[in-house]
Amino acid sequence: MSFYYVNDTPQYNGDHEVHEQGCCFMPVNKTFLGYFSNYEEAVREAVKVHPRAVACVYCLGKYQHDKYHNELHAVSGFRGAGRVKHH
Ligand SMILES: [Zn+2]
């Protein structure tokens, strides 16, 4: 769970970035979206404020990285397949 904000100042292409609390690219002019359990929910809320809301690449990258690792841990019991054969 985390707090999310949307940038009120559009990017050069008109997109409004959504940031997770603590992002180092947090804009000065922003609208508080709320407290969400995941990034998808935050973006869904952000498009109500700015129709062209998109995820911040930095925040989303971190979010997906964490999510990927959580999923990886969930299947950590699986091993042994695909071992590389050296000749
Ligand atoms: Zn961000």
Tell me the CA–centroid distance for residue 58 and ligand 1, in Å.
5
For the chain, give every domain's residue range: 2-74
pTM: 0.75
pLDDT top residue among 43 and 60: 43
Pairing of strands 53-55, 16-20: parallel
Instruction: Write out the residues surrounding ion ligand 1, Cβ under 5 A.
Output: 19, 23, 25, 56, 58-59
The arithmetic mean of pLDDT across residues 44-72, rounded, is 87
For residue 59, give the nearest of 28, 17, 87 by alpha carbon. 17
- Is residue 7 within 8 Å of residue 30, measured between CB atoms? yes
Q: Which residues share a beta bridge with 5?
A: 19, 32
